[in-house]
Structure 1
């Protein structure tokens, strides 16, 4: 007697119950985005370069931890790895709270803060992709596209919620609330993860990381470029709003995430109907228009509209670049029906390689943003350099509200 087939609604609920852990991780990532640089500059009285180090260190830790996350998922199973990652969120929150609460020497406070950022980055790596392989292992490779779509909604939705939530928490409880919220959210997610069933650990022939990395490189580079919109937004938007005297930069991330989620939900059949690369071409155009609107926006409301357009542009482009190379990735499984899961779970799987290229695009944007922050601190408002000065200032002079009519 054959087993009953689960309905699509039931499958979606099951997938959401797994990728919600990635949502919790991205909320924790978004909480300090709009508030931590200000604390480093004005609370610890350190340089903009160090503020950039505090933000960027997390993403470097995430990038370097991806292969390890894949190897651990192969060996121990995705559920166990995700639980370790959620436990890391708790530890990161505790370290961040101690760095802010303790009346200790500056070197100890900064050390605790940096340690918390590194742990947060490693935890993100242990939660993100293993969530996908966990859901795929439970609900089958035929639902891979569904899992990836929900995982993208969880990730960008978490950032969209986390950034403004971080501002509200800081205003209500001071910055120590950021660390406490991170620890509490990680603990709640960890308790819920303990109730979810584990996916079977599948055996298969592992592909070397560099082989798979080269196999996905062409589309991977395109995916890194497609991530520039999101990376540029998270890296530059607070600096842009501050330089123009605007408030509520965090709501640009909410606009981005909201537009991303709405487009994903209302157009599930967009790729089969119009074709992958045709959709990507339109998405990249929309993303470019959104970024141009942010640059030239004469008001914060229009900048938020530009962020929403950027979210629409990112919505389907990353899904296409991440999905298509799976069919071109070498795979020699012991059980053919489980081949995609075996490859995705390997330390050298396309999911890990693509996530690394995606993080590379985000990391470049955040690194460049620190250069802009240095120039902004060297030449504050009212003390702009001559026209031959830094490129950042010359670009700022092109903004509509800075032009002389």
Structure 2
């Protein structure tokens, strides 16, 4: 059976509260770069689907594709980002990630300029720039998030793996929770292009800050092949991918779901998800080293399944907001719980690659969910997407139960 994370530090004196605070601050110093990456992702999240569908006149399925296409680039570049982190260093990956995210903001600004009537250009030209922005942002996400996670783990020690991954997730969904309503405000006041401007500024400032931080020495040793890493991490990644469908359906289609029912507050629904997600991470992150990754993932996926069930049956915006909070609360520890189990399957010099491959499964999920759920919506209506999410989350729960039983049998 996999050794709980807390046992990795056996024989060491217990940490004092002062040391815990100092370690937390160090972790936040690295995961803040993940926050910037996902702020760039979150800013257009609530307005991009209606912008593509309602203003540019493309279908709901195409709007989902525009959201999801980012994850093609992310998935394809994950192994490369892991390789860069393991061989050139996590700092290099973060620097490249910040630069790519800034470039995505420039392309987003260009897409807005091309879409204005005074230029009299084809809407497909603007759409091309928009898709290019999403693809570049996907590469930036891969480099920035993988690099910052490995940088944090290497800096504070592998006994804090669960905490680093946990705070990385807080940065991820906290940035989305902040970015979604902020994007709505910016777009309403200064137009769609203002999102690109803010993305450029924030990412360039973060690049300068990352350049000033001390790099962590690269761990040398014989590396496992990509196929070997994939084989060890794939079951955990599949469970993560299916468990993430609840979030990706919510993030991609909640705006159109609210609009179809003539409700207000879709961005706040995403905020409810993010706030509940962060609260669960802060309150229960220590459950992973205490109880192990698989038991925590089982409980979390059970809660998430309840959230998606309630979302499917929601008949008021308040019920939908509560359902989003339940979904966020449940999904909160799935990534770090399964991630801790996954990275322990490979040696230290391959952990960047393992993180890249593991996270890549969620990228595949996010990409496929957009067009798949869009097609389901076209056939059965917006609520049916949440039934689809419920089925996927329950399937993830089944995989984790099998993985836990397998580990217990080995022990």
Do they superpose with TM above 0.5? yes
- Residues in 2 aligned to 1:238 and 1:246: alpha-carbon distance in whole angstroms: 9
Q: How does 1:110-259 map to 2 (within 5 A)?
A: 110-259=127-276
Question: Is 2:381 the counterpart of 1:392?
Answer: yes
User: How many angstroms does 1:98 deviate by?
Assistant: 1.4
User: How many angstroms does 1:393 deviate by?
Assistant: 7.4
- Residues in 1 aligned to 2:191 and 2:89: alpha-carbon distance in whole angstroms: 39
Question: Is 2:88 the counterpart of 1:99?
Answer: no
- Residues in 2 aligned to 1:318 and 1:196: alpha-carbon distance in whole angstroms: 27
Q: How does 1:35-74 map to 2 (within 5 A)?
A: 35-74=47-86
- Residues in 2 aligned to 1:181 and 1:28: alpha-carbon distance in whole angstroms: 9
- Residues in 2 aligned to 1:343 and 1:87: alpha-carbon distance in whole angstroms: 25
Distance 1:191 1:395, change over 3 A: closer
Number of matched pairs = 366
TM-score normalised per structure 1: 0.85
Match of 1:369 in 2: 373
Q: Per-residue CA shift, 1:146-190, capped at 9, x if unaligned?
A: 211111111111111111111111111111111111111111211
User: How many angstroms does 1:223 deviate by?
Assistant: 1.7
The answer as to whether partners of 1:160 and 1:258 remain within 8 angstroms in 2 is yes
The answer as to whether partners of 1:31 and 1:165 remain within 8 angstroms in 2 is yes
Regions of 4+ moved over 6 Å: none
Question: Is 2:20 the counterpart of 1:20?
Answer: no
Match of 1:357 in 2: 361
User: How many angstroms does 1:69 deviate by?
Assistant: 1.0
User: How many angstroms does 1:395 deviate by?
Assistant: 5.0
Distance 1:75 1:302, change over 3 A: same
Match of 1:328 in 2: 345
RMSD of aligned residue pairs (Cα, Å):
2.2
- Residues in 1 aligned to 2:235 and 2:72: alpha-carbon distance in whole angstroms: 22
TM-score normalised per structure 2: 0.83
- Residues in 2 aligned to 1:248 and 1:72: alpha-carbon distance in whole angstroms: 41
Structure 2 unmatched ranges of 5 or more: 1-14, 388-411
Structure 1 unmatched ranges of 5 or more: 332-339, 376-389, 399-405
The answer as to whether partners of 1:34 and 1:238 remain within 8 angstroms in 2 is yes
Find the structure with the greater CA-based Rg: 1
Residue among 295, 310, 316 paired with 1:278? 295
Q: Per-residue CA shift, 1:14-72, capped at 9, x if unaligned?
A: 11111101001101101111111222233333333432332121111111110111222
Match of 1:344 in 2: 351
Match of 2:327 in 1: 310
Which sits farther off after the overlay, 203-212 or 48-57? 48-57
- Residues in 2 aligned to 1:278 and 1:90: alpha-carbon distance in whole angstroms: 39
Question: Which structure is higher in RCO with an 8 Å CA cutoff and minimum separation 6?
Answer: 2
Residue among 83, 87, 91 paired with 1:75? 87
Distance 1:202 1:255, change over 3 A: same
Distance 1:351 1:233, change over 3 A: same
- Residues in 2 aligned to 1:121 and 1:394: alpha-carbon distance in whole angstroms: 28
User: How many angstroms does 1:288 deviate by?
Assistant: 1.1
Residue among 243, 268, 280 paired with 1:263? 280
- 3-state DSSP of counterpart to 1:122: helix
